[in-house]
Amino acid sequence: MAVSETTAPDNNTSPSHGTQANEARRYEVTRADLPLSCPMPSMELWNSHPRVYLPIEETGRERCPYCGAIYVLKD
């Protein structure tokens, strides 16, 4: 997966190994990232909220109830 890291809260990012959890407000994910959780397994969890699984398959878009991050499923 390509890495697009950003510190601007409104920019898109693709999660990758070592990405800080809750770093962005919007993440684009693919079917390879399913099942989807926030924070994602590749994100550092130590300073984030508990992991929660998001049912993005039905809608193609989900919001984390803890941090408000938006996940968008790309085909």
Residues 62 and 71: beta-carbon distance below 8 Å: yes
Pick the residue with more confidence: 75 or 73? Answer: 73
pLDDT at 36: 97
Q: What is the pLDDT of residues 1-20, one digit of tens each?
A: 333 333 333 445 555 545 67
pLDDT at 42: 85
Q: What is the pLDDT of residues 8-60, one digit of tens each?
A: 334 455 555 456 777 789 999 999 999 999 999 888 878 889 999 999 999 99
Residue 73 has pLDDT above 80, yes or no: yes
CA-wise closest residue to 26 among 41, 14, 43: 14
